[in-house]
Chains A and B, each alone.
Chain A
Amino acid sequence: MGLEEKLPSGFLLTTVEQAAGWVRKSSVFPATFGLACCAIEMMTTGAGRYDLARFGMEVFRGSPRQADLMIVAGRVSQKMAPVLRQVYDQMPNPKWVISMGVCASSGGMFNNYAIVQGVDHIVPVDIYLPGCPPRPEMLMDSILKLHQKIQETKLGVNQRQAAREAEEAALKALPTIEMKGLLR
């Protein structure tokens, strides 16, 4: 968001990317976005036994302005969706979203009038975490995977290049309904 985005591509940018990725991944501040059952498991992850502090993440921020990770923990109702989007918009860049649990990821078993069928309808999601609710170990695993993703984040021209490639790949990808074979 600052100077690092303006660097020309090449050796310097790659080095800055690595440094920025390392710094960013080591101090992720999650925003509290507990909604339902998953929120209890999210709190458990922060508490004694699972101890998220080991990954430099025990400080859950009350204010979205101080947070860069939103863990959407639970089912998102139609009434909550605008609130969620507003909280997301209030977070400063760079920001990431973990969709915790099946309800946040796809609506899960609540395929009905009240629940948004996947939080990716309203915010971009970086990690989908299955489970109902996912165990704290699973949440930690997803967080570590997100750390890895943050470490590999590109900057500036490299980022735009990566975004273009990702979009092209997505356009070429076969839709799920047209895939053949076993359900896996």
Chain B
Amino acid sequence: MSEQDDPNAPGQNVPAQRDDTGDLIATRRGMFGAAGGGDTSGYGGLVRTVRLPGASSRPYGGWFDEVADELEGALEEQGLVPATVIDKTVVDRDELTFHIEREYLPVVARTLRDDPALRFELCTGVSAVHFPDDKGRELHAVYHLRSLTHNRLIRVEVSAPDADPHIPSVVDVYPTNDWHEREAYDFFGLVFDGHPALTRIMMPDDWQGFPQRKDYPLGGIPVEYKGAQIPAPDQRRSYS
């Protein structure tokens, strides 16, 4: 019997990972969300890692190489080393993502907007994502930039640790991000340095906490029916 067929070999009895490469963002245990010994399913010992698509290597394909070349070239012209500015470049699902070190975000944004070969004139705002288990890079800010001139769309992603949730603002490059950054601050507590008036926008001014972070509860109330009570959606058992 070869090792492949041995059912007792380590790793044989767990569902295959879709991808063992990529960035680890979380580790899950068990299967039915039951914690504290209530899991009788037999899957309590299951350990599953969650990985986002990792860095890609060249060629990226299509116009992605051209944009990456132009960006790296333009950064070099400004005396910057692309490898220190661009953390990594990810190509996934036909989308190009530049992970940028946060302190270089304004210069990258300005380059992307102003370089004639890049010309990403339209920023579609910032979307924040909270990965509590992605240690040191808990808060991600994701920008989608659209070039009307070249008809392209790219994604720029920066991250900040929870302990120091600061990201430079790009409002002076893309004024449209004014409200978007306020929204990301309101929901995630990301502080955009250099924003002209970073205040709450959706929640009341005296609200405590940042409601769309993963460590903030959904805040629902249990609903009463005849003889029964249904807990709020985030309090129910769920599939992990």
Contact = CB atoms under 8 A, between A and B. Distances in A.
B221 interface: yes
Chain B contact patch, size range = 20 to 34
B221 A113 contact: no
**Interface SS of chain B: helix, strand, loop or mixed?**
loop
Interface string A141-170: 000000000000000000000000000000
A23 interface: no
B220 A112 contact: yes
A181 interface: yes
B204 A79 contact: yes
Contacts of B220: 111-113
A112 B223 CA distance: 12
B203 interface: yes
Name, among A78, A112, A175, A178, the residue most crowded by chain B CB atoms within 10 Å (CB to CB).
A112
Interface stretch (B58-66, B111-119, B171-179, B225-233): B225-233
A12 interface: no
A181 B228 CA distance: 10
Interface residues of A, number: 18
A91 to B, nearest CB: 24
Name, among A113, A177, A183, the residue most crowded by chain B CB atoms within 10 Å (CB to CB).
A113
Interface in B6-36: none
A158 B70 CA distance: 83
Contacts of A172: none
Contacts of A113: 211, 216-220
A117 B204 CA distance: 17
Contacts of B204: 78-79
Contacts of B211: 113-114
B224 interface: yes
Given A79-B203, A79-B204, A111-B233, A182 B226 contact: yes
Contacts of B232: 111
